[in-house]
A and B are shown apart, each in its own frame.
Chain A
Amino acid sequence: MMVEKTLLRVIAKLLIPLILLYALYVQFHGDFGPGGGFQAGVIFAVAFILYALIFGVDIARKAIPAWASRTLLASGVLLFGGTGLWAMALGGEFLNHSVLSDTALHGQHLGIFLVELGVGMTVTGAMITIFYTFAGHVAETLPFRGSDGG
C-alpha cells in the first residue's frame, strides 16, 4: 500500500515538469553544449521513474503503458537507422548527413538532430522498460519473500 506523503507528492509534482523541460534542453542543446540524446533520454525517463516511485507503479503504467515504452524504444532505433538510410537514398553514404539538406552544414545539423532524437527516444524507452520490469518483478516476488520470513 502506498503511504500518503503530501510533501513528497507536492514536491514531485513541482519537479517533474522541470525535469522533463531540462531533459528537452539537454536533448536539443546537445549539439552546442554538454549533453545529447543519451543523457537527455536518461533524464526524461527519470521524470517518469520519480512519478512511479511517488505515486505507484500502477498509476505510472496508466500514464505510459509497457507497450508505449517499448514502441518508443523501437522507434528510436528506427529513426536513427532511418536517418542513415535516408542519406543513402539521397546518394550519400550511410549516416552521411551532409547530403540531407542544401548545404552540408545544414545537413549535418539536421542529421545529428534526428539521430540524437532517436537515441533519446530509445534511451527513454529502455530506462522506463527496465524500471517497469524490475518493479513488476518485485511486486511478484515480495509477498512470497514476506511469507518466507525473508
Chain B
Amino acid sequence: MIDVPASDPWLILLVVVPLLAAPLCVLLRGPAGAWSVATAVSWGVLGIAVKLLGDVLERGTLRYRIGGWDAPWGIEYLLDPVGAFVVVIVAAIGAVVLPYAKSSVEKEVRSDRIYLFYAMVLLCLSGLLGIAVTGDAFNLFVFLEVSSLSSYVLISLGRDRRALTAAFRYLIMGTLGATFYIIGVGLMYQMTGTLNIQDLTTIIPAVADTRTVLAALAFLTVGISLKLALFPLHLWLPNAYTFAPSAVTVFLSATATKVSAYVLLRIFFTVFGQVDLFAHFPLQPVLMAMALAAMFLASLTAIWQQNVKRMLAYSSVAQIGYTVLGISLATEAGLSGAIIHLFNHALMKGAAFMAIGAVVYATGAVTLDRLAGMGKRMPFTMAAFVVAGLGLIGMPLTAGFISKWQLITAALESGYWPLAVLILLSSLLAVIYVWRVVEAAYLRPVPANEAWAATDRVPVGMQVPMWVLAGASVYFGTDASFTLELAHTAARALMGGY
C-alpha cells in the first residue's frame, strides 16, 4: 500500500467537528436548536466519512500528525480501508439515527434534558469515530472512554427507572473493560517504550515471548471482549439495550459493538500483526468456542424473551458471535465475513430497533402480548420489522444472507465444514425468535382493549430513517459487489499490515 506523506485535515475534522458541536448544544440549550446542530453535524460527518473512504481506496492509507508532532512521539491519526469502512458505518448510522431521534426522544426523554441528550450523542459519535481513525493505542483508550461515558449517560436517560441500574451495570462492566485495556497498553509500553500502533507492530515481535507481552495480550483481549459483549462477557448488554431510549438503542446496537470488534481486529492483526498469534496460542479454539456459545445460547435465550427489545438485544449478542467466528478463522475470507457482517448487522439491527421504537412511540407496546395484531394496526412499521427480521435470519436477498454466505464460504475454505452446519443451525434459531414476533403481529387478533385508532401514526422523521435502513439491508443483500469488495480490501489490508 502506498502511503501518502501529506497530512489529510479531514481525518481530524471527522473527530473534532462532532466533539466541538457537543458543547455548542449545551450552550444552545433549546431542544430544537440542539437537534438541528446534531443532525447537521451528523450529515456533515457522513460526508467527510464517505470522502475519506474514497480517498483511502484511491490513494492508500491516510495520515495526520496532531499538533505537527511526528509519530511515534506525537499522536498520529491513520486511516486504512478497515478503519474507513468502520468510520462509514458509524457515520451513516449517526446520520439516520438523528432525524429518527427527534420525535422519539421528545416522547422518551425529559424535555429539560434533551439538549444534553444530543450533546451526549455527539460525544459518543466523536469517540467512536476517534477509535477508528487513531493510530495511537493510548489515544484509542481516551476515545474508548469518551464513547463509553457518553453511552452510560445516554442509557440512563431512559424513562424506565431500570435504565439507571442498566446504565450502572454497563458502567461497571465497561470501566472494567477499559481498565483492562489500559493495563494491556501499559504492559506493552513497559516492553516496547511506544504507544504508536504502527511502532508497536514492528517492536512487538522482538519481545513477543515475554510474559509481560502475553499478559498484555490477555488483558487487551478480555478488556475489549467486555466492550464487545462477547459471550460470556455480554451480561451488561441486554438490560442496557432494553431500557435505553429507542434512539439510543438503535445507535449503540449499530455502532458501539462494531467499533469494539474493530479494536479487536486491530489488536490481533495489526498490533500483533507480525506475530503469528493464531499459530502460537490457542486463540482460535477459545474465540471459536465463545462465538459458537454466543450464537447458540444467546439465540436460545432470545427465543424465550417477552420483551421484543430484549429479544433483539440477545440477538445482537448472537450476531456478535458470527463476527467473532469470522475473526477466529484468521483467514482473509474469515475476516471479510466478520467485517461485512459489521456493516450488514448494523443495517438490519438498526432497522429492527427503529421499527420497535416506532411501535413504542405510537402505542407504548414493547412486549409480545401487546404486539398482538400490530401487523394490522401499524402495517408499514411491522413490514419494516419483518424485512429486518428476515435479514437477521439470513434469508437470500437480504444483507444477512451475504454475511452468512461469506462466513460459510470462509469456514469451508478453512476446512471447518461443521462450522458451516452450525451457522445454518443457529440461523434456524433466529427463524424462531423472528417468527414469534411475526406470529404475534400478524396472526393474533387485536386485543379488544387496544384502540384501533393508534394505527401507523408515526412521524415521517421516524419512518424515513427506518425504511432507509430496511431498504439498505435489502439493497446490499441483492447487490453486495461493492460491500463485499470493500470487506475483502479491508481484510487484505489487515492481513498485510497498515
**Closest approach, in angstroms, between the C-beta of A26 and any C-beta of chain B?**
23
Q: Is B16 in contact with A93, judged by CB distance below 8 angstroms?
A: no
| Residue B361 lies at the interface, judged by CB distance under 8 Å to chain A | no
Range class of the A interface residue count: 20 to 34
Q: Is A81 in contact with B67, judged by CB distance below 8 angstroms?
A: no
Q: Is A77 in contact with B67, judged by CB distance below 8 angstroms?
A: no
Which residue of A is nearest B25, CB measured? Answer: A74
Q: Is A70 in contact with B68, judged by CB distance below 8 angstroms?
A: no
A76-B24 Cα distance, complex, nearest whole Å: 11
Interface size on B, residues (CB 8 A): 17
| Residue A60 lies at the interface, judged by CB distance under 8 Å to chain B | no
Given contacts A93-B65, A94-B66, contact A74 B16 (CB under 8 A): no
Across the interface, B24 reaches (CB within 8 A) one of A73, A74, A93, A94, namely A74
Given contacts A85-B16, A88-B9, A94-B12, contact A77 B23 (CB under 8 A): yes
**Closest approach, in angstroms, between the C-beta of A32 and any C-beta of chain B?**
20
Given contacts A93-B64, A93-B66, A95-B67, contact A77 B16 (CB under 8 A): no
Q: Is B26 in contact with A73, judged by CB distance below 8 angstroms?
A: yes
Inter-chain contacts of B27 with A (CB < 8 A): 71, 74-75, 78
**Closest approach, in angstroms, between the C-beta of A99 and any C-beta of chain B?**
8
Q: Is B68 in contact with A96, judged by CB distance below 8 angstroms?
A: yes
A74-B7 Cα distance, complex, nearest whole Å: 29
Inter-chain contacts of B19 with A (CB < 8 A): 77, 81
Inter-chain contacts of B16 with A (CB < 8 A): 81, 84-85, 94
A97-B12 Cα distance, complex, nearest whole Å: 16
Inter-chain contacts of A101 with B (CB < 8 A): none
Closest CB pairs A-B (n = 6): A74-B23, A96-B68, A74-B26, A95-B67, A81-B20, A77-B23
Chain A positions within 8 Å of B, measured between CB atoms, are 67, 70-71, 73-78, 81-82, 84-85, 88, 92-98
A-B contact pairs, 14 of them (CB 8 A): A67-B29, A73-B26, A74-B24, A74-B26, A74-B27, A81-B20, A85-B20, A88-B9, A88-B12, A93-B9, A93-B12, A93-B67, A94-B12, A94-B67
